[in-house]
Each structure stands twice: as C-alpha cells, then as structure tokens.
Amino acid sequence: MVSLKGLFLFSASIVCFLSFLSFGFASFTPIDCFLISCGSSKSIQVEDGRVFEPDFGDSDVGLSTNSLISVSNNENGLLSELHNSARVFTKSSVYTISTKQIGRHWLRLHFYAVKNNQHNLKSAVFSVLANGITLLRDFSFSRLGKKEPLLKEYVVEIGGSSSSGNLVLTLSPASGSVAFINGIEVVSMPEGQFDFSVVPIPMGPGFVIPSSVALETVYRVNMGGPKLTPRNDTLWRMWNSDHLFLVNPGSARNVTKDPKSVKYPAGESVDIAPNWVYATAQEMADARVVDQKFNITWAFQVARGFTYFIRMHFCDIVSASLNNLIFDVYINNQTAVDALDVSTKTMALSSAYFVDFAVNMSAGSDKIFVQVGPSNLRNSPANAILNGLEIMKMSSPSNSLDAEFLVHSKNFESSNTKRHVKLAIFATLGGLAGLLLIAMFCFLCFVCFRKPKMVKQKSLSWLSFPNHIGISETKISAGSFASTTPSRALGRIFAFSEIREATKDFDESLVIGVGGFGKVYKGVLENGVMVAVKRGNGKSQQGLVEFRTEIEMLSKLRHRHLVSLIGYCEELNEMILVYEFMAGGPLRKHLYGSDLPHLSWKQRLEICIGAAKGLHYLHTGAAECIIHRDVKTTNILLDEKLTAKVADFGLSKFGPALDQTHVSTAVKGSFGYLDPEYYRRQQLTEKSDVYSFGVVLMEVLCARSAINPSLPREQVNIAEWAMHWQKKGQLEQIIDPYLVGEVSIDSLRKYGETAEKCLAEYGCERPSMGDVLWNLEYALHLQAAARQSLEDENNNTIPDIPYSILRVESGEADEIDIVSHGESDVTTSSGVFSQLINPKGR
C-alpha cells in the first residue's frame, strides 16, 4: 500500500545562505530557503545567482519502481538549465520539505515540458497540492499554448493548523498520465509582509487575511518602469511593466526618479517592494492642465469565483512640495481611497507607501479595473499616480486556488492562460565546475536524507492526509473570513417594518435628538437590544450623500470609542441608520444645562481620553486619515458606564458637494469649534479636529458652552477666554466650580497646557491626537497620584471620604469664580485653591 519511495526531506537552509554571501545583494536573509532543481543530477546556478540543488531523487529506487524518472535535454540552449531537466511521476507522489520556521512562505514552482524520449510532458495532465490546498487542478502544459517555461508563485502557510512544520507538496497525475516538475523554491517570508489590514471593496470594515488562506500571485506590475527580475528584488520576485494593462495608454505618462532617493519610512521594510518600483510611476498625461478630468485605467483579466488581494504602491515622486498631490483611487468603479494624499501618509516626498484591498470577483466582470484620477477636492494640481500593483488570488473556502469546477477545457484554458505569470530564466553558468560545487554542497547541506516515500493515489494515508494537516481548522478560519465579504460588511440591512416596530412607528416621545440630517429615535429591536435610529428626510440630495458617507465611514471603522453602526434601511426612499444606543447621551448634557449629576475630574479626564482615542483612531487607524470635521461636546456620546464614543460621521468625508455644504454647516452649526486656520484658508487637515478638541477640553473644564453670547464680550468665546487665563497660568480661575477642591493642580496644569497646544493658531503647531491622548493620560496619572498621596495622608482619620470634606470647602467656589475677575483677589483665591487641592503643597 504505502511504499517508502518518493519522499525527499530537506533540512538545510544553508544552501541559499552561501549563495547569497557570494553574491552579496540580499538585505533579507530568509531562515528557510530551499532551491530545488528537480530531476537534475547537478546543482544549477540561475541568472540571478542563486544555486538550485538537485532533489537527489534516488535514481536506484526511482527506476526500480518505474515511478521516479528524471528526464533531461541538453539541447535546450536558450533556457535556463533549470528547464533542462524534470522529475517525472507516474503515480501520486510527495515532496516533504521540513522547514525551520513556521508561518507563511513563498512557494515557487517551475514547469517546463522538457523534450525527451520517454514521456510527452506537454500533454501530461496532473494536479498539485501544497499542505492540502489545491494549487493546480488537472493542469496541462499544452493547454497553455505557450512554449516558455512557466513559473507559478504562491504564498502558503507552513505549520499553522498542522503540527508538523513541513511543506507537503503532492503531485498527482491524472489516470494514464504523468506529473512533472522542474524546480521548487521554498523561501520564508519576512515578518509582517501580509499582516496589514485589508480594506474590502466595496468599502467595509478592514480585516486581516488569516494565514491559513493561501495566495497566488496573479499580477505584479511596476507602473511606468522596467521589468524587474528576481535579481532586482530582495525577495526574488518578478515585476512586469504595465503597458499591456493600460486601457488607454495615451492617458498616462511614465515618470522616473533616481531610485536612490526613495525613502522607506520607519517601520516599512525595504522588502515590501524594491526602490525601482517606487522610483517609477504613471502619472496623468498632460497633468497639471487646469480642470483636467479623467482617470488612468488598468484592466486585469482574472478568474471569477475568487477573492483577490490587491496591494497598491505609491510614492510621491512628482510633487515639488507636500500636500500637493491629492487623488482618488478606484477598484472596479468603486472608491477605494478618497482623496489620497500620499505625502501626509509618509510626511515626506519620495517616500514609499502601500495600501491593501480585497475584492470579491464572484459575480459580474472577470476583469479587475484599477483607476486613479484627480480628486475634486480643492484647487491642487489635477494629477494622479500609481507606482506599483500586486494582485493575488486568495484560496477559496474549499482550499483551492484553481477553478472549482472544470466543465470543459475551454474554460480552463481561458482562465488559466491569463493568470499565469511567466518567467524565462536564461542559463549563465554550467559545466563541470558546477558539478564540483554540487558535490561540496551536497556534502555540506543535506544533513538529513531519507529514502523516498511514494504514496499511491488511493492509499489510506492519502485519504487521511487532509485530516492530518488539520483541514477542519482551516475551514473555520476560512469561514469566518468569508463572513467579512463586502455585502455583509456594511452591517445588517433592516426592513422598514422592523424599524417601525422598534420605534413604535416613529413615536415622537422616543425622539432623543434632532439634527440637520433628521430625527433620532430611541428604539428596541426584536431581540431586546436598544438602538438609536437616525431617520433622514429623504428629500435632500445632501442627505443622501451624507447617508452614504456615514454608512461607508462607520462600517469601515470599528473602535471602542466610536459609536458603531448596527445596520441601515434604504427601503421606500427611507434613509435610516441604526446605531448602538448610547444611554448616557451627549457629553454636553453632563457638563451643563441639565440636572444630571456632576462629573468628577477623573470621569471628565477619562471621557476626554476616550474621545481622544476615538479621534486618534480616525486619524491614523484606517487606511486613510479621516477628519471628523465636527468635533464638539454634542458629538461625543456616553454609554451607561460613561465610556465616551465619538459620533456623527456624516460630515467626515472629503468630497465636493459635501465640502461646500460643510463650510456653511460648520460656520453656522459648530461656531466656536472651528479651526481658525481652516476658516482662513479653507484647508482642512486633521489638525482642525485637534483644534476643535481643544475647545471641547476647555468646555469640559469650565462647564460652559463654546459660545455663550449672553456673557460679556471677552467671555463669549470659550477658546479666547480660557486661553487668556491659561496664558497667565491661572486657568483655575475659570474652572467648573464643582471641580474646585477636587482637581490636582499638577493635573490641571498638564490639562491646560494640552488644551493650549490644541488651540494653537496654526495647525502645524498643534500636537497630533496621539500626543494629546498621551498628555491627557498623563494628566489622569497626576490626578491619581495626587489623590493617592491625599489618601495616604488621611489614611488614619478619614479613609473613605476625603473628598466630601474638600467638597464642603469648595462651596466657596462660586465666590472664587466671581473674584477671579478682580486682579487683586486672584492671588488669595488661587492661594486657597492650591492649598486645597495640592496636597504636596501643604
């Protein structure tokens, strides 16, 4: 049943390592690197300098069972020597490669139908599996209709669900046929190459591709640049030129910069893509003409029925200054990135940046369209670029990378020929010198060599093989992965009847808010879950845009400190959004104008920290920086535990229609929060949010509205009034009386400084949300420390209620607030104040 023939065990990675040393160009030294020349009797050095070692098919054994045959043809002058020989299998056979490292590996398979007298390899039909994933199903070289050697590149997981750290590569000939292979590369992948979150198209919440999903490289393209060979790439990848894929070549013009000028930002590996990819791009032909409006479009034929991973590489090599190149990116006519400003991502020109997407090609077209075009935003030059693009097929939930159902060969052919990435490697070295080298290498490298093991197609071990590698687990993760497909990504779709039921037919008594968009109702779903239902008035065009924006925005974003969207309803011209219900309501209500209990300083700090985390995530967590544009105390909601969540993304997106309406909305609706720089220059950056957040901080501290026209003129605007006192170092003069005696002076200082920085006149002087967050956390820390020392001091006398005593004293707070207007009293009151609240000062 199972005879021990056909198993080749390699356990030496020294092979690659030595050859790298001699060629000295690789920055990345993979832990595993197996380069195998199948059926060859000597090691072979290919054009890029790497040396492929023979698979040591034990010719005695192989020939005796007639199942292991190596064929070669030395007349093949033009091709790499790798393609002069092949290992031929008449029965299902296995290569087992035991790697040092588990995790994702590159797997490259070389095929070429070597001419020989024994077998017609061209018409051979066979399947190839790697660790249970079908790479090729009933593959035949002749059906490709091509003469060149074929290189297939995959990413497969080793280890993972199977406990053994082996790559098991199975070649199974169709009945009456043979299987063959010329070369195998197994190279460990650098950490982090595919750890990044993928944004699905159409947009939905980002997700990480489970490592159990295998990938096949379908296209790897260097826009506007030359073809790059494995020699030019630290990971030995091929990059093709993009000319064949440009839909309208006249629309694009290639640009090139010195590759040495390309920078890789901290944290980005040079292995992501060679600098030659980033140093060349296609830009819009005749770019910078006023009012130029078109997209550059590339089209890529793919097989239907799979989800594709798309990685786009960008590098601003065309701008003279930062923030000058802003453009839109589309995949399959859907927005992938809106108003991408590469230079804000990298904070530098000529700096590498990439972003990953996933697109499902189950239905409709079998072409992936990738487009870049000028953004409607602002009067920046109308231009758009793309530097590089990778398209990889993801294995299906049934663990296949080849067409699921082979109806007839025609389908097979059309889907296959176009997918294959082809590679021709030309021989550079050979001869007897090589033979000597092999002998040495063999000796050095193959520490462990076992007798080949051949598994018959229907043997028990063959059938149990999938279990052995833990296929069930693979399926679970593939299943959860499938649940994030775009159609579901936007949340639950509600029937209008469900919404009516939940809100008692939009009962007015359930209205919890009214905004520009419409009314917000409290509702209870069938399952008892409380929700907030935002119902738009369907007539306004602006409403529709905001509606879609909000769905897109919210469903892309998931964060503890962002209000999450549960679903929506678009029935009968209704535009209804269903959110998680925030029992605490808006932050403002807890600060003033209601009889809710007063928030303690610690609670206020925690709320501000929560909101800062939400905004920080908006600015940095998603594929693109998202600017909220309407940060205010009514858009920070609290749940029943007073956890702060940022709400209302209706205005968050860039966009022309929105942009216009927003300026007026903001000026009218959120006056007092508006970034003066934005107001002056109409230029929106995430620092505008930081300014608004500074206003929120002051509001939280002083418990009054951002603008209060009933106050004396100098006090109307909280930002001005608070900054006046902050600059004097006496912010405590105007704080919420309920905080007096509770807030630690150190904590207040830190808080005041942070708010002051947020309110800086120019955006560039303001801190990032991340810095704000850090400073607020520090302020909380100072408060806790002060409280701790206070408690320690009072430990023996009043262990439980030190604050109640302080609060009694703080009854004078009103007076403090009043006297603060008179300069002469300031010193006394602040003296009292600091004595009360700064235990260290006593």
Ligand X SMILES: *[C@@H]1O[C@H](CO)[C@@H](O)[C@H](O)[C@H]1NC(C)=O
Annotated binding-site members for ATP: 534
Q: Which is nearer to ligand X, 367 or 749 (CB)?
A: 367
Does 324 sit near ligand X (CB under 6 A)?
no
Q: Which is nearer to ligand X, 78 or 448 (CB)?
A: 78
Least distance between ligand X and beta carbon 369 (Å) = 5
Does 8 sit near ligand X (CB under 6 A)?
no
Residue whose token pair is 């209000």 = 563
- Both structure tokens of 813: 């707070």
Does 232 sit near ligand X (CB under 6 A)?
yes
Does 45 sit near ligand X (CB under 6 A)?
no
Least distance between ligand X and beta carbon 17 (Å) = 20
DSSP class of residue 400 equals B
Least distance between ligand X and beta carbon 423 (Å) = 14
Range list of H helices, 402-430: 409-417
DSSP class of residue 743 equals S
Residue whose token pair is 């590339």 = 298
List the x/- string, 177-216, binding to ligand X by CB under 6 A.
----------------------------------------
Least distance between ligand X and beta carbon 243 (Å) = 7
Give the helix, strand, coil percentages of the chain, each rounded to 5: 35, 25, 40
Determine which residue in the list 231, 422, 500, 724 makes contact with ligand X, applying CB under 6 A: 231
Least distance between ligand X and beta carbon 233 (Å) = 9
Q: Which has the closest alpha carbon to 539: 524, 518, 525, 519?
A: 518
How many CB atoms are closer than 10 A to CB 340? Answer: 26
**If phi over 0 gives left and psi between -120 and 50 gives alpha, with beta otherwise, what is residue 347?**
left
Q: Which is nearer to ligand X, 371 or 775 (CB)?
A: 371
User: How many residues of this chain interact with ligand X, rule: CB under 6 A?
Assistant: 21
Does 56 sit near ligand X (CB under 6 A)?
no
Does 417 sit near ligand X (CB under 6 A)?
no
670 in Cβ contact with 688 (< 8 Å):
no
**What residues from 364 to 383 belong to the interface with ligand X (CB under 6 A)?**
364-365, 369, 371, 373
Distances (CA, A) of 56 to 7, 93, 592, 722: 10, 15, 81, 80
Q: Which has the closest alpha carbon to 330: 354, 309, 304, 357?
A: 357
List the x/- string, 236-275, binding to ligand X by CB under 6 A.
-----x------------x---------------------
Task: State yes or no: is 675 an active-site residue.
Answer: no
Does 295 sit near ligand X (CB under 6 A)?
yes
**Can you give the C-alpha Rg of the chain in angstroms?**
33
The stretch among 56-64, 169-177, 325-333, 789-797 that binds ligand X (CB under 6 A) is: 325-333
Listed in sequence order, the residues at least 6 apart from 609 whose beta carbon sits closer than 8 Å to its beta carbon are 644, 773, 776, 777, 780
Does 487 sit near ligand X (CB under 6 A)?
no
How many CB atoms are closer than 10 A to CB 572? Answer: 7
Strands 367-374 and 327-331: antiparallel
Q: Which is nearer to ligand X, 278 or 617 (CB)?
A: 278
Q: Which is nearer to ligand X, 280 or 665 (CB)?
A: 280
Neighbour-count burial of 773, counting CB atoms closer than 10 A to its CB (0-12 exposed, 13-18 middle, 19+ buried):
buried
Q: Which is nearer to ligand X, 373 or 585 (CB)?
A: 373
Give 582-610 as a DSSP string: -TTEEHHHHHSSS-SPPPPHHHHHHHHHH
Least distance between ligand X and beta carbon 344 (Å) = 22
List the x/- string, 326-355, binding to ligand X by CB under 6 A.
----x-xx----------------------
Does 276 sit near ligand X (CB under 6 A)?
yes
The stretch among 4-12, 226-234, 683-691, 786-794 that binds ligand X (CB under 6 A) is: 226-234
Q: Which is nearer to ligand X, 333 or 788 (CB)?
A: 333
> Per the residue annotation, which of 356, 630, 675, 746 is the catalytic one?
630
The stretch among 136-144, 223-231, 526-534, 759-767 that binds ligand X (CB under 6 A) is: 223-231
Does 96 sit near ligand X (CB under 6 A)?
no
Binding residues: 534
The stretch among 221-229, 307-315, 785-793, 815-823 that binds ligand X (CB under 6 A) is: 221-229
Q: Which has the closest alpha carbon to 567: 467, 466, 490?
A: 490
The stretch among 228-236, 408-416, 475-483, 826-834 that binds ligand X (CB under 6 A) is: 228-236
Q: Which has the closest alpha carbon to 171: 303, 42, 55, 14?
A: 55
Distant-in-sequence contacts of 703-706, Cβ < 8 A, 24+ apart: 703/591, 703/592, 703/736, 703/738, 704/592, 705/588, 705/592, 705/593, 705/672, 706/632, 706/633, 706/671, 706/672, 706/673
Q: Which has the closest alpha carbon to 562: 611, 498, 499, 501?
A: 611
Q: Which is nearer to ligand X, 201 or 525 (CB)?
A: 201
Does 225 sit near ligand X (CB under 6 A)?
yes
Distances (CA, A) of 297 to 201, 223, 243, 247, 253: 17, 12, 11, 6, 12
Q: Which is nearer to ligand X, 256 or 835 (CB)?
A: 256
Least distance between ligand X and beta carbon 299 (Å) = 9
Determine which residue in the list 146, 147, 288, 293 makes contact with ligand X, applying CB under 6 A: 293
Least distance between ligand X and beta carbon 113 (Å) = 27
Least distance between ligand X and beta carbon 680 (Å) = 30
Virtual torsion, Cα 56, 61, 62, 66, nearest 10 deg:
170
Distances (CA, A) of 14 to 19, 29, 299, 441, 749: 9, 11, 41, 9, 60
Chain residues in the site for ligand X (CB under 6 A): 224-226, 228-229, 231-232, 241, 254, 276, 293-295, 330, 332-333, 364-365, 369, 371, 373
* Residues with catalytic function: 630
